[in-house]
């Protein structure tokens, strides 16, 4: 099934939830399985055999019973970890870590970029700019994914969309830096212009090269350049927007 379906990477919700220690799952003392809190889908009887793994740590909560801030914090930490892999691309880590894709990271990246740019743009263009950046980044990610798939790449759809979204983080960071520089140096100074161009060029290369190890693993040999050129064009487009907004 999964071999035929490009949208399926074998990623199931089970991979998101760490296996629960035995002590946590069994508030009901009897042998009846607690179906409500058994979110992993594992049969409760399986866990009775395993001893508590980390006795020193506080008992891991069930994901349904834990406080909301803890859930949010865990997801946030997850996004931050993946973001760090984009900022410091290492071949083995990127591939394995981005296998568990999520779309929260790309949403944060594109929303932040769009908000920063539309706040710094002149008021007449801010709405258009916000819409353009949001639409271009999501549509562009989809088009790039389809391009890789059509070239014969072995990519799951949302995994790839997630990757391109995470690779926007350097450009978001650049837009943030440029906005701060504009406050410090003023929008008209030539030093600001030079620094802006340098930042944008560096982060453009950064974003593109963060995609290289991932894409080159999954696209057939001899077609890597064909898959990489549209990615470069996409990041060029986003970098141009960061550069041009006054």
Partner 1 sequence: MQRTSSEATISANRAQAFPLKTATPESKTTIPAPPVPPTLQFQPTIYTEGNDPYPFLNPATTTSAPNPFVTSSEPAPPPLAPAQLAQPPAAPAGLPVAPGDGGPLTVGDAHFWKLRFWQRYFNVDTKMVGKRLLLSLIPITDAFWRSLNDGVPSSSSASTAVVDPGGMIFPGEKAQPPAAVAPTLATRRNSDLYGPFWIITSLIFLMGIVGNLASWFEFVPTEAQPTWRYNFYDVTYATASLYPFLLFCSGGLWLLLTFCRKPEAPAGSPPVTSVPNPTGANPADVFSAPIGTPAPAPTTTAPAAQPKAGPTTTVSLVDMICVVGYSFTVYLPVAIVSILPWAALRWVLIVLACAMSAAFVCRNLWGLFMEGGSLWRTVLFLGLYVLASVGISLFMEFFFFVYAYAH
Residue ranges in contact with partner 1 by CB under 8 A: 3-6, 122, 125, 128-129, 132, 146-147, 149-155, 218, 220, 222-226, 229-230, 233, 236-237, 240, 244-246
Identify whether the C-beta of residue 161 lies closer than 8 Å to the C-beta of residue 104.
no
Smallest separation, CB 114 to partner 1 (Å): 14
Q: Which is nearer to partner 1, 114 or 218 (CB)?
A: 218
Collapsing DSSP to helix, strand or coil, 240 comes out as: helix
Q: Which is nearer to partner 1, 18 or 152 (CB)?
A: 152
How many whole angstroms separate alpha carbon 223 and alpha carbon 152?
A: 9
In this structure, what token pair is assigned to residue 120?
């710094």
Q: Which is nearer to partner 1, 44 or 148 (CB)?
A: 148
Collapsing DSSP to helix, strand or coil, 15 comes out as: helix
69, HSE (Cβ side, Cα atoms, 13 Å): 0
Q: Please count the other Cβ atoms lying within 10 Å of the Cβ belonging to residue 126.
A: 17
Smallest separation, CB 128 to partner 1 (Å): 6
Smallest separation, CB 216 to partner 1 (Å): 12
Q: Which is nearer to partner 1, 63 or 125 (CB)?
A: 125
Smallest separation, CB 50 to partner 1 (Å): 30
What stretch of H or E contains 105? helix 104-120
């Amino acid at each position: 099934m999964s071999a035929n379906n490009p949208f399926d990477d074998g990623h199931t919700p089970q991979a998101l939830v760490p296996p629960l220690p035995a002590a946590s799952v069994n508030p009901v003392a009897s042998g009846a399985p607690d179906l409500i809190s058994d979110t992993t889908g594992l049969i409760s009887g399986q866990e009775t055999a395993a001893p508590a793994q980390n006795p020193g740590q506080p008992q891991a909560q069930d994901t349904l019973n834990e406080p909301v801030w803890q859930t949010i914090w865990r997801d946030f930490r997850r996004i931050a970890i993946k973001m760090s892999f984009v900022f410091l691309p290492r071949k083995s880590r990127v591939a394995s870590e981005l296998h568990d894709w999520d779309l929260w990271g790309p949403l944060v990246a594109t929303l932040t970029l769009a908000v920063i740019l539309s706040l710094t743009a002149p008021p007449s263009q801010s709405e258009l700019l916000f819409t353009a950046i949001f639409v271009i980044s999501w549509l562009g990610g989809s088009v790039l994914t389809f391009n890789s798939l059509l070239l014969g790449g072995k990519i799951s759809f949302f995994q790839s969309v997630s990757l391109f979204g995470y690779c926007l983080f350097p450009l978001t960071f650049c837009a943030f830096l440029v906005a701060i520089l504009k406050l410090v140096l003023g929008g008209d100074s030539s030093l600001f212009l030079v620094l802006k161009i340098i930042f944008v060029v560096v982060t453009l290369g950064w974003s593109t090269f963060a995609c290289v190890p991932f894409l080159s693993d999954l696209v057939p040999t001899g077609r890597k350049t064909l898959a990489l050129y549209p990615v470069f064009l996409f990041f060029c487009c986003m970098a141009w927007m960061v550069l041009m907004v006054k």
